[in-house]
Structures are given as C-alpha cells and as structure tokens.
C-alpha cells in the first residue's frame, strides 16, 4: 500500500509553513503526486537542502517502476550516456545498469510502440 503523500505534505505544510499552501506551483505539484519524481520535485521546492541532507537523502532514495522506465526512456531518446544520467540525477551508474537489465523486456516493448 502506497502512503498518501498529498495528505502527508499538506499536514506538514499546515504545521510548519502554511503560507506555502497558497503558492500555485506548490499546489499544482501537491495535486499531481503520481511518481517518485513528482514527490522529489515537491520536496525540493518546499524544503531547503544542505549538503549533508542531500547526501543522506541520496542514500535513502527509491524510485518506482514507472519513474525508472521514464528515466531510461529519456536516456535513450536523447542518446545520453549512463555517466551523464548518473551525474544529472545523482543515481549511481551501477543502479542505472541494474534497471536496464531488470526492465529489459518491458523497455523493448515500450520502444516498439
């Protein structure tokens, strides 16, 4: 069962920073929390991050299947290297290679469409 991120973020904002609930960009992101990528964008918009928190968050970051496939599609569409994707999204090259291997058949189906 997936947590209700919209409710979680609304409660956090009501308590700590209610004026951000009036920001149209925050509201739009809050209403469209469908993928891990959406949650990360909202989190970056709402909270300031330090180098230490970025490092800790990176170690705990997880992606859902939809987001993984979306990133792999983006890489292939723009003919980007794994190293570039790794730096851009702060994901290890090993992780990206593992995704390619894990979703190889599904990725081929998507490319055929």
Give 23-76 pLDDT, tens digit per residue: 898 888 888 888 878 887 888 888 776 666 555 555 656 788 888 888 999 998
* 43 and 82 part of one domain: no
* 38 and 75 part of one domain: no
Lookup: tokens for 21: 């609930």
* Last-in-domain residue among 42, 58, 74: 58
- pLDDT band of residue 96 (cuts 50, 70, 90) is very high
Domain that holds residue 74: 65-112
Selection from 16, 19, 41 nearest residue 30 by Cα: 41
Residue with tokens 């069962």: 1
16 in Cβ contact with 23 (< 8 Å)? no
Query: Given phi > 0 = left and psi -120 to 50 = alpha, else beta, which region is 60?
Result: alpha
Q: What is the pLDDT of residue 33?
A: 87
For the chain, what is the mean pLDDT? Answer: 83
* 80 and 97 part of one domain: yes
Q: What is the pLDDT of residue 113?
A: 64
* 54 and 9 part of one domain: yes
């Amino acid at each position: 069962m997936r947590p209700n991120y919209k409710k979680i973020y609304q409660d956090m904002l009501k308590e700590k920073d209610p004026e951000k609930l009036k920001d149209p960009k925050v509201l739009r992101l809050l209403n469209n929390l469908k993928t891990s990528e959406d949650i990360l964008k909202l989190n970056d918009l709402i909270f300031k991050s330090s180098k230490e928190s970025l490092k800790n968050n990176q170690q705990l970051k997880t992606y859902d299947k939809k987001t993984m496939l979306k990133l792999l599609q983006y890489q292939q569409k723009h003919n980007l290297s794994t190293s570039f994707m790794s730096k851009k999204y702060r994901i290890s090259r090993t992780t990206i290679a593992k995704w390619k291997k894990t979703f190889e058949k599904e990725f081929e189906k998507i490319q055929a469409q």
